[in-house]
Amino acid sequence: MNSWIAAAVTLLSGTALASPALAAPALDGVLVDNVEGVTPDGRGGVERFEGFLIDPEGKIAQIFHKGDKRPKKVAYKVDGKGRIVVPGMIDAHGHVMATGFAKMTLDLSMAKSLDEALSRIAAWTAAHPEAPWILGGGWNQASWGLDRMPTAAELDKVTGGKPAWLMRIDGHAGWANSAALSAAGVTATTADPAGGEVLRVAGSKAPAGVLIDAATALVEKKRPKPRPEDADTAFGEAQLQFLAAGVTTVADMGTSIEDWQTFRRASDKHQLRMRIVAYAGGIEAMQLIGGPGPTPWIDDDRLKMNGIKLYLDGALGSRGAWLKAPYADDAGTKGLPQMSSTQLGNLMSRAAMDGFQVAVHAIGDEANATVLDSIEELSQTYKGDRRWRIEHAQIVDPADIPRFARNGVIASMQPQHEASDRTMAEARLGPQRLAGAYAWKSIAATGAKLAFGSDTPVEPAHPFEGLAVAISRTGADGQPMGGWQPQEILTREAALGAYTTGAAYSLFAEDRLGRIAPGLRADFLFVDEDPMTAAPQALRGTHVLETWIGGRLAWSAAQDGGKAGVRR
C-alpha cells in the first residue's frame, strides 16, 4: 500500500496525523483511471469521463475521456476497475452536532407507537442510572397514529423522579416530564413566550408536557450542557455518518459558539475529515464566531463560517408552520411566527450589513411570503451577490413562487421531507393548498437555484435516498404509484445538480466544490449505482464504496467494515 494511502487509512483508525503536510508527499499527481465517471457539467447537463488527474494540492488538474493521452509520470495510480465515480455530495442543510448527539442519546425515531416509545425510554433509563437527565429525541406522534401530543404524565410513569426532556423529530417541540417542567419552573402561571407555546392540560392552565418552538428554551436553558469532550465524541460520530453516506461537505445550520469550537478543536488535531460551512445560530453566535464578517476558508477549505441562520416559523408536524389560512385539521390556528416581520427585517439587516449571508427557515406559505417581502426590501439597500437563502420553502403560495428567481433567492430544500411528510401535509393543508408544496420543479422552473440537503438528524443524511425521492416523488415503499404531485418530479440532471453544483453555489463555493472539473477540489465517491440510470429503488440503495476529499481517501467501506453503516 502506498504510504499516503496508508496515512489516510491510519486516519480512519483514529490515530491523529502529526500534520496533514506530512501525509502528502510531493506528488506529480495522482491518476484515477478506468472509471465510469459522471459529473454535472455546470451548465445543467452531465459530463462522462474515464479518468482524472489530481494535483499535489488535492485539486483536479485534468479530466480524461476515451482516447485522451494520460500523463506518463505520476506519483500514484488508482485503478477504478470500471467502478462509478461521482462528485462528493453536498448536504446544503444539516445539523452536524445534533446528528452526532442523536447517536449518543435516547433515540425514539424507530418507535412506532407511544407504548413502544415509553418502553424504550424505560429501558434507556434503567440502563443509564448515572445520567442526571434523560435526554434524547426523534419522536413523532403522527407516526404513532396519535392525534394529540404525548403528556408529562405518560412520561412520568417510566422515568420516575429524574428529569426527562425529549425533542420531537423536527426539533420544533420538546416533551418534558414533571421533574423537567419543575426544574425549568414551568407552571400554570408561566405565560407562553413570544413565538412559542406551552401546551396545557385540557380545561386548565397546568402545563401538559409538550413545549412548542420558542417555549422549548425554558427547559433547554436548564438541562445539563454536554462537556467539550462529549461534543468531540459526538462530532466524530457525525463525521463518520456523513462520510459513509457520501457527503463530503455539509452546511451546518444554526452553529453555536460551542459547535464552532468543537470543529476548531478537530481542525487543530487534524481530525477535521470533511468540509463544513457554518451558519451561526443567531446574531450573538454570528459575532462570536465571525467577528466583523464571514471567516475565510481555513484548513485547506475544510471550514468556513458564511453567515447566519434565522427561524421565522416552526414545522408542520407541530402546527408551528405559519400559514396564510387556518390549518385544515385545526381551524383554530394558522401556526405561529417566531418574530414579527420588523424583527426579522432588523436581524437580516444586522447580518447583511457586515456581509454575512442570510438563511431563514420558512415552512408555511405566510412565512415564505414574509421572508420574500423582507428580501425584496433589503435588496434595495444590500446590493451585489447576496445569495439570500430560504430554508425548507416547503409550502409556498404559487403566487409567490416567481419571487424566488426575481431576487436571486436560493431555495434550500430537502426531498426526503416530501416522502416523509406527504400524508401529514395533506391533513394539515387539505387538498386545495398542495400546489406549492415541496414544489422543487416549479421553483426551479422560474430560474431560482435549488440547493438540496437532508436536515439531518430529522432525515438521515443520505443524499442517494434524497436523489431517489427527487426523481420519483415516492418513498421507500415505492408509494404512491407514479409519485406524489408528480408534476414536481425533477430530471436526474437537476436532482444531482441540486446536491452538488446548486448546493455549492448556495455556499459561495462553486469555484472550489460541486463538480469533478479542473481547478476544483478533488472530492469524489466510488459508488455502485449510476445516478443517471439506476431505477429509483436501486438509487436509494446506492452503496458508497469510498469517499475521497481533497484528493485523499477519507473513508472506505472496506476499512470501516460496514460499522458506520448507511442508514436508509
What CA–CA distance (Å, rounded) separates 533 from 452? Answer: 20
Q: Is 467 in contact with 499 (CB distance < 8 Å)?
A: yes
Parallel/antiparallel/unpaired status of strands 76-79 and 196-200: unpaired
The nearer residue to Zn ion, 455 or 523, going by C-beta atoms, is: 455
CB 456 within 8 A of CB 94: yes
Nearer to Zn ion, 366 or 455 (CB): 455
Using only C-alpha atoms, the chain has a radius of gyration, in whole angstroms, of: 23
What totals of helices (H) and strands (E) does the chain contain, helices first?
20, 24
> What is the β-pairing status of strands 60-64 and 173-176?
unpaired
Continuous H helices in 138-208: 152-159, 178-183
User: Half-sphere exposure of 253 toward its Cβ, with a 13 Å CA cutoff?
Assistant: 27
* Cβ 377 to Zn ion shortest distance, Å: 25
Least CB distance from residue 253 to Zn ion, whole Å?
5
Q: Which amino acid is at 264?
A: R
The cell numbers describing 171, all together, are: 426539533
Strands 89-94 and 46-49: unpaired
Q: How far is the CB of 453 from Zn ion (least distance, A)?
A: 8
Shortest CB 534 distance to Zn ion, Å: 28
Q: How far is the CB of 338 from Zn ion (least distance, A)?
A: 14
CA-to-CA dists, residue 436 to 383, 443, 463, 476, 532, angstroms = 29, 9, 23, 23, 27
Q: How far apart are the two ends of the chain, measured CA to CA in Å?
A: 32
Residues that bind Zn ion (CB under 5 A): 455
Report the run of H or E that residue 137 belongs to, with start and end. strand 134-139
Q: Which residue's CB is nearer to Zn ion, number 252 or number 366?
A: 252
- In the bound state with Zn ion, the residue whose beta carbon lies nearer, of 309 and 433, is 309
Name 253's bridge partners.
279
Q: Which three cell numbers, joined as nine digits, stand for 116? A: 413502544
Closer residue to Zn ion in complex, CB, 89/208:
89
CB of 507 to Zn ion, least distance (A): 15
E strands, 435-523, in order: 449-452
Q: Give the pairing type, strands 164-168 and 173-176.
A: antiparallel
Cβ(439)–Cβ(401) below 8 Å? yes
**SS3 for 195-253, per residue?**
CEEEEECCCCCCEEEEEEECCHHHHHCCCCCCCHHHHHHHHHHHHHHHHHCCEEEEEEE
Torsion region of 457: left, alpha or beta (phi above 0 gives left; psi -120 to 50 gives alpha): alpha
Angle value at C-alpha 407, between 402 and 413, nearest 5 degrees = 70
Say if CB 507 and CB 306 are below 8 A apart: yes
- Measured from the CB atom, the residue of 174 and 550 that comes closer to Zn ion is 174
Sheet containing strand 60-64, strands side by side: 60-64, 51-54, 30-33, 76-79
- Closer to Zn ion by CB, 33 or 170: give it: 170
At closest approach, how far in Å is the CB of 361 from Zn ion? 7
Torsion angles phi and psi, residue 106, rounded to 5: -65, 120
| Minimum distance from residue 251 beta carbon to Zn ion (Å) | 10
**Cβ-proximal residue to Zn ion, closest one:** 455
Whichever of 93 and 422 has its CB closer to Zn ion, that residue is 93
Q: Which is nearer to Zn ion, 418 or 455 (CB)?
A: 455
User: Nearer Cβ to Zn ion, position 49 or 322?
Assistant: 322
Provide, rounded to whole angstroms, the least separation between the CB of residue 95 and Zn ion.
6
Residue closer to Zn ion (CB basis): 412 or 472: 412
Query: Nearest approach, Cβ of 395 to Zn ion (angstroms)?
Result: 16
Cα–Cα dist 420/479, whole Å: 11
Quote the CA–CA distance of 139 and 239 in Å, as a whole number.
Answer: 23
**Min CB(93)–Zn ion separation in Å:** 6
- Minimum CB separation of residue 317 from Zn ion in Å reads 13
Cell digits of residue 137: 429525541
- Minimum CB distance to Zn ion smaller for 455 or for 488: 455
User: Taking a C-beta distance cutoff of 8 angstroms, is the pair 196, 140 a contact?
Assistant: no
Instruction: Kindly state the smallest distance separating residue 82's Cβ from Zn ion, in Å.
Output: 38
Of 169 and 539, which has the nearer Cβ to Zn ion? 169
Shortest distance (Å) from residue 116 CB to Zn ion: 26
Please say which residue, 51 or 335, places its beta carbon nearer to Zn ion: 335
